[in-house]
């Protein structure tokens, strides 16, 4: 899940105009962490793992939880499914910003 979160973070930054650079510069939108997971330093991997570990607690603070959908409710798909927790988190985040979570 941490690898997926880092990929999501990379996409969010890249879509916002950020690029890779050896030294972080927020005003120039440069970050040394816009890298594939395999190239990310271990200390930063652990930071991302901590973020992911905290997701259940963050959801609980707003009255939400992570649940596994019953197998009977799952639809077969040829594409890789998006984890349920991601759909719930994305929806609640978008709605709190006044938008829609539809992609």
**pLDDT digits over 53-73, tens only?**
999 999 999 999 988 878 776
Confidence of residue 80 (pLDDT cuts 50, 70, 90): low
Q: Report the mean per-residue pLDDT for the chain.
A: 82
Tell me what pLDDT residue 98 has. 54
Q: Long-range contact list for 29-34, CB < 8 A, 24+ apart? A: 34/10
CA distance 51 to 92: 17
Structure tokens at 71: 């197998």
Nearest to 10 by CA among 37, 39, 34: 34
- Among 64, 52, 61, 68, residue whose Cα is nearest residue 5: 52
Res. 1: pLDDT tops 50 = yes
What's the pLDDT band for 95 if we cut at 50, 70, 90?
A: low
Is the per-residue pLDDT at 76 higher than 90? no
Rounded CA gap, 10 and 38, in Å? 13
Taking alpha carbons only, the member of 26, 38, 93 closest to residue 6 is 38
Q: Does 103 have pLDDT greater than 70?
A: no
* Residue % of the chain over a pLDDT of 70: 70
CA neighbor of 31 nearest in space, from 43, 22, 39, 44: 22
Tell me the average pLDDT across 19-38.
96
Q: Confirm whether pTM is higher than 0.85.
A: no
Retrieve residue 31's tokens: 């970050």
Strand partners, 25: 30
């Amino acid at each position: 899940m941490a690898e997926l979160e880092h990929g999501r973070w990379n996409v969010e930054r890249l879509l916002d105009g950020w690029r890779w650079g050896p030294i972080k510069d927020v005003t120039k939108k440069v970050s040394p962490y816009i890298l594939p997971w395999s190239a990310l330093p271990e200390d930063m991997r652990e930071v991302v793992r901590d973020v992911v570990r905290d997701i259940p607690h963050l959801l609980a603070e707003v009255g939400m939880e992570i649940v596994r959908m019953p197998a009977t409710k799952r639809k077969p798909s040829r594409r890789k499914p998006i984890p349920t927790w991601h759909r719930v988190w994305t929806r609640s985040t978008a709605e709190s910003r006044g938008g829609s979570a539809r992609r």
